[in-house]
Amino acid sequence: MDVILALLSGALLALSFPKFGHPAIAWIALAPLLVAVCHRAQPWRRGFLLGLTTGLVYFSGTLYWLVETMTTFGGLGTPMATVAAALLILYLSLYPAVFGAIQARLVSAYGRGWVLAAPAIWVASEMGRTYVLDGFPWELLGYSQVTVLPIAQAASVIGVYGLSGLVALVSAAAAYAAIERSAWRWRIAAMVAVTILLVGGWGTARIARGSLRSSGTPIRVAVLQGNILQDQKWDPAMRDAIMGRYIEMTREAIGRNAQFILWPESATPLPYEEDLARGESIRRLAREGKVTILVGSDQLEPVKPVAEGKPPASRIYNAAYLVQPDGTTAAIYRKIHLVPFGEYVPFSRLLYFVGPLVEAVSDFSAGTEAVLLPVAGHQASTGICYEVIYASLMRAFVVRGSELLTTITNDAWYGWSSAAYQHWDQASLRSIEQGRYLARAANTGISGFVDPYGRVLQKSQMFQSAVMAEDVRFITERTIYSRIGDVVGWLSVAFTIAALAATRRRLR
């Protein structure tokens, strides 16, 4: 029965996210696992296995698209792609497994009431998933609520990790009511219900007040969705057609009075600085239209040979170039968080059996600095591709002075799967956390604009060309979250470590 409950939790977690799920499911998703782990004292190893079971279903349901991505664009056969995806899913499942093990240990030491510590322990596991190695914080529990705007406003104070804890709190209260027989179960349930109502009421009032929508300096921004299919993107025969499409779309955006125009990630068919003729066409367009253009392109940096007589090598970066109205390059941002199995293969020597993928994936180097983009006398920032799911990076931009968030991406890799929809939702939450407008240019979608309260102003359809322009604002006001960062997350880590350490004396 416990295994069935763990499987159920995994399924409910997977069904908490787009495009097949619903945010309401997230509120009770952890309850079955908590009942399985906490209804009686049991060894931490059993809690670990139950959590691992939940994690395997959870991440299989949210990352199923990895197999198609690696077979279609990575050159792997379906069996090998399945193995590679399974290894990543198994790794990510270790975090719910550790959650289950810690929860079992605490219940054995202190009693079933410690099921109520689950929100902090779950958040600590998500912090681990974010910061261990380079991290992979895809579909944290708090992201499930991004479309429930009254609740999502809490992210402006406690961030996505606090939002995860809030959602997990309901599951913890439900599990406590199921395994506890005292009157306290109803009192706890009532207190949690009042907490959620208060958060929702405050969020509703915050949206209605809407002071950030009239704050700051207005600017008209355009995003371009070129809809270049992945199998055409690097075809030499398509280079002129691709550049021609973006040039025409940029002219259309200029015709709509855009002052700042975003091209998607890796939009240029060749590295911007190496492709002199096509690069000049971009610079000329910026001068003629008196606009600022953000261009997603690779950057090659020569590296001094390590030994005499060896040919010079180059580092390659996934970059964004800011072209000013006078045609000069004002800033270059290099992507800091690279996509595993997309821009590099982790532990490639160990994963020798994915050789075709290693050969198909460019060995990108990671940037190191959160570079700001000077636009019309203000500061903007950009995250490239899945960097936008790193809340701390987007906050770092705002701490440095970013008044407008942008993100450029190429989600063509994901086809029609859930990934592009998941990616859009995760990006949208950054606008609430930081109290900033967000502009997003995606090669095949989803592109659009989100206001500082998470409201979608414009949103494109998938796999369609689109030019969208919107009046947004440079904002200098700071949210509480942008000031305090992931305090809730780090407090959860500290609490979990302290509680776990105390059990050593308790269980001697």
Contacts of 280 by beta carbon, 8 Å cutoff, 6+ apart: none
**Average pLDDT over all residues of the chain:** 92
How many residues does the structure list for the chain? 508
Look at residue 311 in the predicted model and tell me its pLDDT.
59
Q: In what order do the strands lie in the sheet with 378-384?
A: 373-375, 378-384, 404-409, 438-442, 448-450, 456-459
Asked if residue 426 and residue 323 are part of one domain, the reply reads yes
Integer Cα distance of 154 and 139 in angstroms = 17
Provide the pairing of β-strand 456-459 with 448-450. antiparallel
Catalytic choice (38, 68, 180, 335): 335
pLDDT of res. 237: 86
Q: Where are the alpha helices (DSSP H) in 262-354?
A: 276-289
User: How much is the average pLDDT of 199-223?
Assistant: 97
Q: Which one of the listed residues 139, 265, 343, 470 is annotated catalytic?
A: 265
Whether residues 78 and 200 fall in one domain = yes
Q: Are 56 and 90 in contact (CB under 8 A)?
A: yes
Q: Could you give the CA distance from residue 297 to residue 292 in angstroms, rounded to a whole number?
A: 16
Does the pLDDT at position 268 exceed 90?
yes
On whether both 105 and 61 belong to a single domain, the answer is: yes
Half-sphere exposure of 248 (CA within 13 A, CB side): 9
- Do 464 and 492 lie in one domain? The reply is no
Summarize the confidence of residues 410-429 as an average pLDDT. 93
Residues 229 and 377 occupy one common structural domain:
yes
Are residue 6 and residue 138 in the same domain, yes or no?
Answer: yes
Please give the DSSP secondary-structure letter assigned to residue 363. -
- Residue 43 in this model has a pLDDT that exceeds 80: yes
Residue 479, SS3 per DSSP:
coil
Nearest to 155 by CA among 192, 214, 122, 199: 199
Taking the C-alpha atoms of residue 288 and residue 294, their distance in angstroms, rounded to an integer, is: 16
Same-domain check for residues 94 and 133: yes
Q: Report residue 485 as tokens.
A: 């960062």
Terminal Cα-to-Cα distance of the chain (whole angstroms): 30
Over range 503-507, report the average pLDDT: 74
Q: Is residue 469 part of a domain?
A: yes
Distances (CA, A) of 196 to 125, 165, 192, 316, 430: 23, 12, 6, 47, 21
Residue 385 among the catalytic residues = yes
> For residues 362 and 322, which has the higher predicted lDDT (pLDDT)?
322
CA 115 vs. chain centroid, Å, equals 29
Q: Coil, helix or strand for 225?
A: strand
pLDDT in tens, 323-372: 999 999 999 999 999 877 666 666 555 555 554 555 555 578 889 999 99
Q: Which of 38, 385, 387, 433 is catalytic?
A: 385
Q: Is 152 within a domain?
A: yes
**In CATH, what number is assigned to the domain containing residue 244?**
3.60.110.10
Instruction: Give yes or no: residues 177 and 60 share one domain.
Output: yes
Report how far Cα 403 is from the mean position of its chain's Cα atoms: 20
Residue 36 has pLDDT above 90, yes or no: yes
Amino acid, single-letter form, for residue 477:
E
- Considering only residues 6 and 80, tell me which one the structure prediction assigns the higher pLDDT: 6
Q: Which pair of structure tokens corresponds to residue 288?
A: 């003629």
| 338 within 8 A of 364, measured Cβ to Cβ | yes
Torsion of Cα atoms, 58 then 62 then 66 then 69, to 10°: 170
Question: Is the separation of the CB atoms in 284 and 327 below 8 Å?
Answer: yes
Proportion of the chain above pLDDT 70, given as a percent: 92
Is residue 344 situated within a structural domain?
A: yes
Q: What is the pLDDT of residues 164-196, one digit of tens each?
A: 999 999 999 999 999 988 888 999 999 999 999
pLDDT of 487 higher than 90: yes
Packing angle, helices 65-73 and 78-110, rounded to 10:
150
**Residue 6 domain flag:** yes
Helix (H, G, I), strand (E, B) or coil at 318: strand
> What tokens were used for 467?
């030019």
pLDDT band at 254 (very low <50, low <70, confident <90, very high): very high
286-319 pLDDT tens trace:
999 999 999 999 999 877 665 565 655 678 999 9
Active site residue 38: no
Q: Are 344 and 357 in contact (CB under 8 A)?
A: no
- In a domain, residue 261? The reply is yes
Between 31 and 337, residue with greater pLDDT: 31
Write down the pLDDT at residue 492: 98
* Structural contact between residues 260 and 379, judged by C-beta atoms closer than 8 angstroms: no
Domain containing 43 equals: 2-210+486-506
Asked if the structure places residue 195 within a domain, the reply is yes
| pLDDT of 255 higher than 60 | yes
Do the domain assignments include residue 481? no
Q: For the chain, what is the domain count?
A: 2
Chain mean position to CA 205:
27
Q: Distance between CA atoms of 49 and 96, rounded to whole angstroms?
A: 9
**Domain contains 144:** yes
Distances (CA, A) of 111 to 41, 106, 172, 307: 8, 7, 14, 64
Encode pLDDT of 234-252 as tens digits.
788 889 999 999 999 999 9
Whether the pTM exceeds 0.85: the reply is yes
Residues 300 and 342 in one domain: yes
Grade residue 137 by pLDDT with cuts at 50, 70 and 90: very high
Within this chain, do residues 332 and 360 fall inside the same structural domain, yes or no?
A: yes
Query: What does the alpha-carbon distance between residue 75 and residue 92 come to, in Å, rounded to a whole number?
Result: 24
Residues 204 and 234 in one domain: no
Q: Is there a contact between 467 and 249 (Cβ–Cβ < 8 Å)?
A: yes
Mean pLDDT of 109-137: 94
Residue 37 φ/ψ, nearest 5 degrees: -85, -35
What DSSP letter does each residue of 51-114 carry, written as one string? HHHHHHHHHHHHSTHHHHHHHHHS---HHHHHHHHHHHHHHHHHHHHHHHHHHHHHHHHH-GGG
Same-domain pairing of 495 and 422: no
Catalytic residue flag (residue 310):
no
